[in-house]
Structure 1
């Protein structure tokens, strides 16, 4: 018997050691992801954030730290927060009292930055694949979600802390630790009252696990006691229950509206900022209808969990996400951020339920747009319940309804559109690639969503014209107003700060004008086509790379590099002609690779009709044709020559067609010829000077940063929160992502050496594309700017991606490069979006 006991003890010690080693290995695996996520947030967090919320938190935290919690609600009767988060603010206030004011914003955002990582850790520990590395995908999706970063690192809200406590309680419940789960969820209810949604879920799980009624009641008592205990520092024990109920009532009645900027059912019904006591269709208050919808929907969801015979964990996390989505969409008094816990819950469901990925992606888009619109509400004077164009807001409401439907639906949703998307990528990417996986297609879709989101957010800011928008956008605006003077070189603009833009062909400006006819004459309208063109360029880079190199990895890396580079992002947010030209050039090259030569000619004609830089694409098309079928060219030179002449004539025809409005304005062919001569004289003129000009040889190393916009803001002479106030300055610069550009220079040199030893290779096309759009500028007589480097960059991204993949670089190195590129972009974001920065930080 003693031997058995000793053996058992030895086995237990071995298991403990194995568990400790497993945990240590997990920590080491998770640490790089956590550190990179925190580093990114640490760069963003010192920014001011939401003009109301973060300053309110700072005021509360300093008040609690100096006066204590006992009389806080007496001095701040309108506080709509329960004590749970006030204890966190007390700790932040204590830290802020001993650290310099420069760290104040970082300190008060720090709890949510840390809980972001905590949520990712909990998600990671829920996933059970064999490889620790594979498990990092889900926490990475959470940590680098723009919604999560924007909310915690920039906005400075408390939603991350709340989601962490809720998720912790649900994880404990899933692991059958019901007592601890009750305690943690009681604390969650003390942070935000809608945490109570998790309580019936835990009760159903307890029923499924056959927990005794006595223990279940004990757990309920523990949860309630924890909630009440959070109020102990603010009142006496005898008045504790009444005080707690009163504070919950005040919290719930602070915003008695059907929707508080949440794009949900009630916003779609036109009830944003309308009191929920309003009669709906004359028979019942909105609040009563919402309660019935939420109650009935919750019962149906919980019934699914109670009666399921399938994987309980699958249904558990799906139903949990469904409850928060249901409340967000159907309940009243809901803010745009109240859907926040659903992000973590959907990722917990993802290993068991594939549809969760799609719901997560869609929710990320709709929530981000909703948050940006709600942010803009603060700056609207007077505030308007209409957050944006009806077409956009109602579409988002419908998408949110769709997300709720697929989350609540028991069966696996059939994503026919996703399969069609994969088929489209296979067709246009490379006809030899037959097995592009759904994962690749979804990865590309994620990159495109991120790229478009970065280009579209706050696109209307600044509302004034940026850099050459005083020429391009102004000219398009005048065309919309019916003014034909901008077509001529011998007329002057009435606005002194603007000028008519006739030095470039008109197609890009005509597209801007069409956008302004659709959306009105405003900054959003004249920049929107550039944002769309920039996103399409990301897709075209992927398609070109996969066609050239027959590798999904190269395509995804190249598209990822373009989405993380600063220069295409700035140009996509500015109404100039560069992104139009680049998009048509890439489309023409792709069509030529597919041997659709007349389509290629049409697209290159459009590129030249946007900017004469498109002429550099002509030798690129010749190289592509030689690489694709040089033997047939030599065998049939006459046929090939006629085809080339036909394509050349088509390019000329497209260019001439772009000037149709010029001739309709009463100008003659002689005027057209004179205009082209003056355009040529302007571009080759050696007497032009500009402080921001640079030389072409400087661009690959990132030199030649160009100032686009600047605006100064005075310091607040009487800051309400007691913080030191500094004057601020907003700047926008055209610049590159040095991580990508410097690595790209090395990759380009490596590829040029490879091409020299192997002339017939798809790599030749990428190398030639890079050189043909950069080298001619080194010999140009005109003044040059860093944005002239833009057409060469897509080929640089492909060369860098090819080098990393074909050189068999460790996948961790690729991830590190992408992470560093993302970090560099995060540092540059204030100077891309024109965010006001305190002058001392400059």
Structure 2
């Protein structure tokens, strides 16, 4: 495992010299402002006198800490993401260990996550920070599997504090609460953790209103139906009624989620670790695929969780993470200055990528319906045979 970690860090270190547009236009400006205005004290400025960043306070705390270290700005920003890449791989290892104790598969799961093209490109190449919220979100899923609800919800609160995209798997929390795998009172840990991380910014002079509305301002910043995301909106050509379509898309996504949550809740199936992994991965793909105004990076959590669910159900879902990764990684390339196609062909490229993502979503939904149908059959006492390699229904916490 040490060799895998060293190789992963070495691969990332080779990408540190690359300057993305996001770094030169945004991240460098944020770092320079914090560095030139007193380090941590500048964080309060962002939510009071001068909004130099549209990110929430916790990430700005990390940038502020970086200004006190003898490290070049771009390398330091990317190093933060690399550290959370390793934490993300750790939780991938722990999740796989529940399914395969005393085996080599957990090491392979961690390695697969560490060497995912999007995980490498997102932090070490692009300078983005999606590994931070993803590490806490995957850690939260792992803790749910371990039946540690308070800690799990705390981790989800940490994920939400760093990126709004953490909400993509929040339907999982609702399902677990409805089926009494997660006590309702533990959900308070999510907003409590989020708000606790605002306290340092408040002490530094931040406006409470600006702190609490940072994500609202983010959602109002982008009005396009899709921002290079391989989503359903790649097939929507009309731009004359974009506002109506955006509203309809939000309502449609909500209706689909409510319907799926209701189906699972009515089924009353025992939520085994396999079913938790299926629900988490499906939600991480489904929500950004159906919601409007998504960026290409918003499938980051889907990239990771699709790998994890494939380790839990390899014979049925081995191709799902490949489809997600192909679609997600190729959608990164235009923003990084490496598009596969130019002009009109680029539009066709993204339509194809959306189709590949739809294939992955169909695979996850199909596996989920089959798994919960098995649970219903088992509860009714009806005997049915299933293909070899399909795990039998098992008790919660069993690792199945």
- TM-score, structure 2 length as denominator? 0.81
Between the aligned partners of 1:411 and 1:137, the Cα distance in structure 2 is: 27
Give the match for residue 401 of structure 1: 358
Structure 1 residue 240: Cα displacement:
6.3
List per-residue Cα deviations over 1:695-729 (Å, max 9, x = no partner).
xxxxxxxxxxxxxxxxxxxxxxxxxxxxxxxxxxx
Greater relative contact order: 1 or 2 (C-alpha under 8 angstroms, separation 6 or more)?
2
Aligned counterpart, 1:774: none
Q: Is the CA contact 1:305–1:312 (under 8 Å) kept in the aligned structure 2?
A: no
**1:344 pairs with 283, 300, 304, which one?**
304
2:246 is aligned with 1:287: yes
Asked whether the 8 Å contact 2:143–2:149 carries over to 1, the reply is yes
- Which residue number corresponds to residue 346 of structure 2? 389
What is the match of residue 111 of structure 1? Answer: 80
1:184 and 1:130 map into 2 onto residues whose CA distance is 24
**1:314 is paired with a residue of what secondary structure?**
helix
Q: CA deviation at 1:225?
A: 2.2
CA contact (8 A) 1:350 1:356 kept: yes
Residue number among 112, 121, 143 corresponding to 2:114 in the alignment: 143
* Whole-angstrom CA distance in 2 between matches of 1:118 and 1:231: 23
Residue-by-residue CA offset, 1:642-691 (whole Å, 9 max, x unaligned)? xxxxxxxxxxxxxxxxxxxxxxxxxxxxxxxxxxxxxxxxxxxxxxxxxx
Q: Which residue of 2 aligns with 1:570?
A: none
Q: Is the 8 A contact 1:374 1:387 kept in 2?
A: no
Consecutive aligned runs of 4 or more in structure 1 exceeding 6 Å deviation: 236-240
Is 1:63–2:29 an aligned residue pair? no
- In structure 2, what is the equivalent of residue 536 of structure 1? none
Deviation digits for residues 607-649 of structure 1 (CA, Å, limit 9, x no counterpart): xxxxxxxxxxxxxxxxxxxxxxxxxxxxxxxxxxxxxxxxxxx
The alignment's C-alpha RMSD in Å is 3.0
Match of 1:298 in 2: 257
Please state if 1:329 is matched with 2:292. Answer: no
Distance 1:78 1:305, change over 3 A: farther
Question: Residues 150-189 of structure 1: CA distance to partner in whole angstroms, max 9, x if unpaired?
Answer: 2211111111112112112222222222112222212211
Residues 50-449 of structure 1: matches in 2 within 5 Å? 50-53=20-23, 56-65=26-35, 66-67=37-38, 68=41, 69-74=43-48, 76-77=50-51, 79-95=53-69, 98-99=70-71, 103-127=72-96, 128-212=99-183, 216-217=184-185, 219-235=186-202, 242-270=209-237, 279=241, 285-306=244-265, 307=267, 309=269, 312-354=272-314, 355-376=316-337, 388-409=345-366, 410-411=368-369
Q: 1:180 to 1:62 in 2, by over 3 A?
A: farther
1:6-21 paired onto structure 2 within 5 Å: none
Q: 2:155, 2:211 → 1: CA distance?
A: 18
Q: Distance in 2 between matches of 1:245 and 1:229?
A: 12
Pairs aligned (count)? 362
Distance 1:375 1:327 in 2: 25
- Give, in whole Å, the separation in 2 of the partners of 1:388 and 1:75: 45
Q: Secondary structure at the match of 1:375?
A: coil
3-state SS of paired residue (1:44): coil
Specify whether residues 91 and 178 from structure 1 end up closer, same or farther in structure 2 by C-alpha distance, changes over 3 A only.
Answer: same
Q: How far apart are residue 292 of structure 1 and its match?
A: 2.0
Q: Distance in 2 between matches of 1:339 and 1:132?
A: 29
Q: 1:279 to 1:231 in 2, by over 3 A?
A: same
Deviation at residue 256 of structure 1 after TM alignment: 2.3
In structure 1, how many angstroms separate the alpha carbons of the residues matched to 2:234 and 2:175? 32
Note the C-alpha offset of 1:405.
1.7
CA distance in 2, matches of 1:55, 1:106: 16
Partner of residue 441, structure 1: none
In the superposition, relative to structure 1, how do residues 140 and 169 fare at CA in structure 2: closer, same or farther (>3 Å)?
same
Distance 2:344 2:198 in 1: 37
Q: Structure 1 CA distance, aligned partners of 2:228 and 2:111? A: 29
**Distance verdict in 2 for CA 1:326–1:260, change over 3 Å:** same
TM-score of the aligned structures, taking structure 1 as reference length: 0.40
C-alpha contact 1:50 1:156 (8 A) present in aligned 2: yes
Distance 1:135 1:226, change over 3 A: closer
CA contact (8 A) 2:15 2:124 kept: yes
C-alpha distance in 1 between matches for 2:322 and 2:182: 36
Name the CA distance, whole Å, in 2 between partners of 1:133 and 1:286. Answer: 47
Question: C-alpha separation between the residues in 2 aligned to 1:41 and 1:371?
Answer: 17
